[in-house]
């Protein structure tokens, strides 16, 4: 999924964009509140969506003006925003495309489709609205209290916590969310954007949309109520409406991305082609995470932090090579890997600690062995979730394992300390965890 960052020029603004795939159809993805064309599309679930979409289309992603790698300009009118979309399409040589937007990107999509029907082959809306003004279908978020909280705690994962209630207590996820916030926008710009968005109203344009339209919405969305999605589908002529389970506003799971990709593929091509069925294997899964990364990044500054982060990944990869581990993906400032032997996974983890100490870094590591679904370079399944939760329990400098790992390495000489039973978020039952002590 490697793709260089390019820039489209729209008047005095430079809009950062990337192009993925070479399919026969074009899709333009219009982001929600935050965008960063590098960080956003490094997330595993977003990469999964790109892989699904690039199986039948060429995908264009971009940073809105004022955010991410685009020029940090103050202008935020809808007219300017949709003009940026057209500039990106022109720069990428896209005459006509399916326009897919979520959350804040939805009103942009509606206005673009209504204004440029000859450039719009289809319209896809997820978790969005036509108007945030008062009324039975209006969205009352954000209120003054939330705007104050955003400004006071920007860069700490505050938007992530609000948009992802299922991960509100996940320290690793919040640290990544904080970096995403800092890289995407400043506190002042996000407050200005939120206030401007509260005045947007494209309800009067809904009846003028004349392209095939798909509206998707999560039934338990606490940020944008499901009534807003239903209203869009009822007022856009011929729109197809799909209601999805769940309460998170942002989509960062493969299962939901699969449903969205299925619906988009059918809208564009008339057919659905899921990826090949995954293989099922038993593996030891490793999750790593830098301790105190938020504070360290703030202390070093963006450039020095990027260099240190790159050195950190290089060190981890050397250890993976030495212990025959397989890198699956990066996660914020951590890494996900698998091993075909649990003892080697444990020894690799401890060796990673030693190597990173020379860089002045400390990590926490979680390990679990179980059955995974493997599809190409992706893994999924409950065992992956357990490993992530075990890593979240680990203290700085610790290698924490499930009881499964401890039992499987009996006779290896590895020593463990019993850390008692734990409830792992989203995982049934109580899990006894062990810290690696000696090897």
The string of pLDDT tens digits covering residues 82-122 is 999 999 999 999 999 999 999 999 999 999 999 999 999 99
φ/ψ (deg, to 5) at 164:
-125, 70
Check residue 267 and give its pLDDT: 96
pLDDT per residue over 309-331, tens digit each?
889 999 999 999 999 999 988 87
Residue among 338, 323, 356 at smallest CA distance from 439: 323
155 dihedral zone (left: phi>0; alpha: psi -120 to 50; beta): left
Structure tokens at 243: 């209601």
If pLDDT is split at 50, 70 and 90, which confidence band does 240 have? very high
Cis peptide bond upstream of 142, omega within 30: yes
Read off the pLDDT band of 235 (50, 70, 90).
very high
What was the pLDDT predicted at 303?
87
| Under 8 Å between Cβ of 181 and 159 | yes
Complete domains list, the chain, with CATH: 6-269 (3.40.50.1820), 279-438 (3.30.70.1230)
Cα end-to-end span (Å), the chain: 38
> Tens of pLDDT along 351-403?
999 899 888 999 999 999 999 888 766 788 889 989 999 998 999 999 999 99
Predicted TM-score of the model (pTM): 0.68
H-helix or E-strand containing 254? helix 254-269
Q: Confidence class of residue 204 from pLDDT cuts 50, 70 and 90?
A: very high
Taking residues 237-257, report their average pLDDT.
Answer: 90
Q: What is the pLDDT of residues 261-277, one digit of tens each?
A: 999 999 999 988 765 55
């Amino acid at each position: 999924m490697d793709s260089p960052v390019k820039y489209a020029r729209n008047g005095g603004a430079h809009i950062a964009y990337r192009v993925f795939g070479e399919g026969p159809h074009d899709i333009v993805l219009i982001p929600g509140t935050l965008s960063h064309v590098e960080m956003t599309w490094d997330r595993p679930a977003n990469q999964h969506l790109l892989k699904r979409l690039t199986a039948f289309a060429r995908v264009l992603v971009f940073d809105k003006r004022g955010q991410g790698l685009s020029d940090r300009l103050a202008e935020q009118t809808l007219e300017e925003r949709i003009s940026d979309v057209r500039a990106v399409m022109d720069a990428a040589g896209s005459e006509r495309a399916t326009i897919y937007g979520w959350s804040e990107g939805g009103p942009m999509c509606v206005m673009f489709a209504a204004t440029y029907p000859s450039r719009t082959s289809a319209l896809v809306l997820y978790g969005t609205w036509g108007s945030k003004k008062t009324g039975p279908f209006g969205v009352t978020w954000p209120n003054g209290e939330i705007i104050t909280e955003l400004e006071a705690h920007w860069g700490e994962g505050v938007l992530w916590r609000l948009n992802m209630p299922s991960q509100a207590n996940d320290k690793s996820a919040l640290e990544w969310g904080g970096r995403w916030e800092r890289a995407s926008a400043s506190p002042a710009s996000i407050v200005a954007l939120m206030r401007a968005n509260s005045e947007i109203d494209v309800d009067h344009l809904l009846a003028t949309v004349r392209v095939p339209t798909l509206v998707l919405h999560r039934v338990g969305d606490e940020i944008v109520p499901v009534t807003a999605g239903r209203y869009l589908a009822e007022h856009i002529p011929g729109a197809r409406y799909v209601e999805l389970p769940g309460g998170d506003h942002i989509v960062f799971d493969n299962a939901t991305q699969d449903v969205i990709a299925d619906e988009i593929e059918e809208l564009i091509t008339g057919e659905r082609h899921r990826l090949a069925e995954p293989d099922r294997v038993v593996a030891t899964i490793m999750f790593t995470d830098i301790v105190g990364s938020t504070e360290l990044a703030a202390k070093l500054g963006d450039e020095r932090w990027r260099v240190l982060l790159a050195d950190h990944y290089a060190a981890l990869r050397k250890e993976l090579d030495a212990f025959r581990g397989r890198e699956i993906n990066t996660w914020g400032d951590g890494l996900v890997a698998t091993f075909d032997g649990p003892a080697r996974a444990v020894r690799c983890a401890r060796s990673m600690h030693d190597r990173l100490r020379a860089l002045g870094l400390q990590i926490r590591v979680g390990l679990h062995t179980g059955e995974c679904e493997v599809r190409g370079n992706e893994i999924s399944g409950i065992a992956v979730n357990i490993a992530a939760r075990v890593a979240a329990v680990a203290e700085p400098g610790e290698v924490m394992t499930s009881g499964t790992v401890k039992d499987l390495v009996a006779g290896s000489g590895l020593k463990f300390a019993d850390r008692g039973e734990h409830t792992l978020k989203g995982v049934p039952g109580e899990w006894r965890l062990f810290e690696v002590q000696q090897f």
